[in-house]
Amino acid sequence: MRAQRVELFVCPMTTPADTDGLQALVDSGKIKPDTLVALVGKTEGTGAHDDWGRVWADVALREWTSKFLAIPVTEVAKQVIFVLSGGCPGVITPHIVAVTRELVEVQDEGPHGGADGRLVVGRAGSDAMSPEEVGRMGQIRKVAEATRKAMDDAGLTNPRDVHLVMVKVPGLTTASIKDAESRGKTVVSHDLTFGPEGAGAYANDAAALGVAMALGEVPESALSDAVVRRDWDLYSEVAMTSSGGEKRHGEVVLFGNSSTSQSAVRIGHAVTKDFIDAEGVRNALRSAGLHFSSGLPSETELSRLVHVFAKSVIPGSDQIRGQRITLLDDSDAYQIGKALGGMLIASVTGRTANYVSGGERNSHQGPPGGNIVAAVVRAD
């Protein structure tokens, strides 16, 4: 039988257009045109809507990938999924993670059976989503369907083996709103931002609920247009989602562990119980396989850490453990909220090259007040 061998390569970037790290991986034979499945990273810049650092990184990385794969730039998206999250405030090192997957022939189930699975990755695209579906059940169902396909592509059948689902979906634009309304349809919001009633927030949250539906975290019967960004008790513990106006289809890249995998690494995840919960971060490390029953991981254990993916959604309440904070009133909350997530991770792991996205207020990505943390470690 054929089994996956998945690897993650973390490349710090010195500018948004820095592809030297990736090129070095190519030159040393670590990534090949047919093994590169995703580029996931944090780009420096404002992290805002018009973040030219992120846009430039996207252009530069696509050009590089196009040359590497020897295909036109417009074809790159069909082969490699890009998840670039803008903004590295505080202690977040700009970096790109190359995710590679090769299929290797194995005799039987391989040596990693049972509870000790290893990393697999699956990808899938969704059907096209119309503007009137954005932030609503149409988007939820199409993401759920794509998530199931990505599980299938990963060779996973048990949702409990899934630890991270990164999703990109269409948002709304002035043009797509006009299109929908010209056809007599309504849209979920006229606010194009990621604010509390913003179309971007609705799209992200519908995508998260789609993952939750696919993985059985939320029953389909509990879902409707009316619960999106209203019923925060419905959420996924593994969905990290983003949206962009220019897209028409959803894209899913899903990470889990499989007993058949031949990877040297495995993944785990946990959720924080609130915004300052360092123990939630440590639980993610434990889930991934770092050994420390209580207290702190040793430097030796930490040396097995490959990467951390974390959300840093701002709590919707002005209280943390009964004490008031003023973050909700802060005009810089988006930046500061993201920066604080970076500190929470770095202060536990001692590493700053972490994928931390967030800054928005409330989300179906993780429980109310808490956030998702996934970790990939080298198996011991």
Q: Is 205 in the site for a copy of itself (CB under 8 A)?
A: no
Q: Is 302 in the site for a copy of itself (CB under 8 A)?
A: no
Q: Is 152 in the site for a copy of itself (CB under 8 A)?
A: no
Let me know: does 134 contact 188? Beta carbons within 8 Å: yes
Q: Which two tokens stand for residue 351?
A: 């590493």
Q: Is 330 in the site for a copy of itself (CB under 8 A)?
A: yes
Q: Is 273 in the site for a copy of itself (CB under 8 A)?
A: no
For residue 111, the tally of other CB atoms under 10 A from its CB is 11
Let me know: does 262 contact 219? Beta carbons within 8 Å: no
Task: By CB under 8 A, name the one of 108, 246, 299, 329 that touches a copy of itself.
Answer: 329
Q: Is 296 in the site for a copy of itself (CB under 8 A)?
A: yes
Stretch that binds a copy of itself, among 11-19, 130-138, 210-218, 240-248 (CB under 8 A): 11-19
Stretch that binds a copy of itself, among 31-39, 66-74, 190-198, 368-376 (CB under 8 A): 190-198
CA distance to 128, 252, 326, per residue, from 145 (Å): 12, 10, 40
Task: By CB under 8 A, name the one of 2, 190, 248, 291 that touches a copy of itself.
Answer: 190
Is 243 among the residues known to form the active site?
Answer: no
What span, in angstroms and rounded, lies between the C-alpha atoms of 145 and 192? 26
Stretch that binds a copy of itself, among 9-17, 31-39, 115-123, 236-244 (CB under 8 A): 9-17
Q: Is 355 in the site for a copy of itself (CB under 8 A)?
A: no
Q: For residue 215, give the DSSP letter.
A: T
Task: By CB under 8 A, name the one of 102, 193, 249, 264 that touches a copy of itself.
Answer: 193
Is 182 among the residues known to form the active site?
Answer: no
Q: Is 370 in the site for a copy of itself (CB under 8 A)?
A: no
What span, in angstroms and rounded, lies between the C-alpha atoms of 315 and 346? 20
Q: Is 303 in the site for a copy of itself (CB under 8 A)?
A: no
| 290: CB partners within 8 A, 6+ apart | 297, 301, 302, 304, 305, 375, 377
3 state DSSP class of 55: helix
